[in-house]
Amino acid sequence: MTLAAFDIVSHFASFSREKTATIDLASGRRRTYPELHDRVGRVAAMLKERGIEKGDRVAFLALNSTDIIDIAFGCWRLGAVCLALNFRLTPHELNFIIDNAAAKAVIYDHMFTPIIDALKGMELPVEQWIGTDGMGGESEIENSLKAVTSPLMTMEPQTLDDQCMLMYSSGTTGMPKGVIITHGMIYFGVVAGGNAANGSPDDVTLSNMPLFHIGAFSGTCTPAIFGGGTTAVDRMFDPAKTLEYINDPELGISTMFMVPAAYNAIRA
């Protein structure tokens, strides 16, 4: 028997109503689980209104922000597949990935507009290009979310075997390969990683590694949400800011994931 995928945001919105779910360190935005529940519902409804259906690929090209959490869980609530794009790639490299994945929508950070303009001139299957500033300011995505009258508050029926995410390999030994990630892979990765790190709902996790990478996305953001804790997201890694964050008693950072080069930068 195949187990059903479940909506963890909806769950904690009911049982942890005062708990802070996300902190966007760059913009100062904070959301409780009920607020995240509504935001995710608005993302799902907005995508549905734009013709996105279960199984469609929705890509994001952006620096870190809590918007990425909203987008991913919004896709999953709708049954769409979230496609993570490496913002360090060239338009030519992104063109291959977007075309190969048959992405129907791309949500992009305004700072990458020149790259998006180049991609729009290529023959791609993308039907929706949706801009954001990643800071909650005036943008197409924020205006669209405000206009949503009926957020999608229940998850489309899915199983743990259903695909929920797509990430591409670096392509160092050939063309990049799409790596299929299922709801079950996300869930059991969280369970194994959470147990290893002794995670708890009291944790505040710092997410400052690129969220287009599975190590950061599945190593910080999703475990924090699935554990009913808090994830604090910064736009990008900065050694001085990282030290400031982990030494801030009001922020209360208790866990984080970084690569060796980042730890060496902090030590220096």
Q: What is the pLDDT of residues 144-179, one digit of tens each?
A: 999 999 999 999 999 999 999 999 998 778 889 999
User: CA–CA distance from 19 to each of 11, 34, 162, 222, 228 (Å)?
Assistant: 12, 9, 29, 16, 8
Helix axes 33-49, 66-78, angle to 10 degrees: 60
What's the average model confidence in pLDDT over 19-40? 98
> Using one digit for the tens of pLDDT, what is the confidence trace for 122-148?
999 999 999 999 999 999 999 999 999
In which band, very low, low, confident or very high, does the pLDDT at 194 lie, cut at 50, 70 and 90?
Answer: low
pLDDT at residue 179, rounded to an integer: 95
Taking each helix axis from N to C end, the angle separating 140-147 and 33-49, rounded to the nearest 10 degrees, works out to: 100
pLDDT, one tens digit per residue, over 199-220 is 678 999 999 999 999 989 988 8
* Mean pLDDT, range 108-132, rounded to an integer: 97
Write down the pLDDT at residue 195. Answer: 53
Helix and strand numbers, DSSP H then E, in the chain = 11, 11
- By 3-state DSSP, what share of the chain in percent is helix, strand and coil, each rounded to 5? 40, 20, 40
- Name the band, by pLDDT with cuts 50, 70 and 90, for residue 221: confident
pLDDT, residue 248, reads 97
Picking from 2, 27, 38, 33, the residue whose alpha carbon sits closest to that of residue 15 is 33
Is the pLDDT score of 264 beyond 90? yes
Q: Predicted confidence band at 198 (pLDDT cuts at 50, 70, 90)? A: low
Asked if residue 118 has pLDDT above 80, the reply is yes
pLDDT band (50, 70, 90) for residue 189: confident
The chain-wide mean pLDDT, for the chain, equals 94
Quick one: 214 exposed, middle or buried, by C-beta within 10 A (0-12, 13-18, 19+)? middle
The tens digit of pLDDT for each residue in 239-254 reads 999 999 999 999 999 9
Residue 268 has pLDDT above 90, yes or no: no
d(CA 84, CA 62): 9
Segment 11-26 shows an average pLDDT of: 95
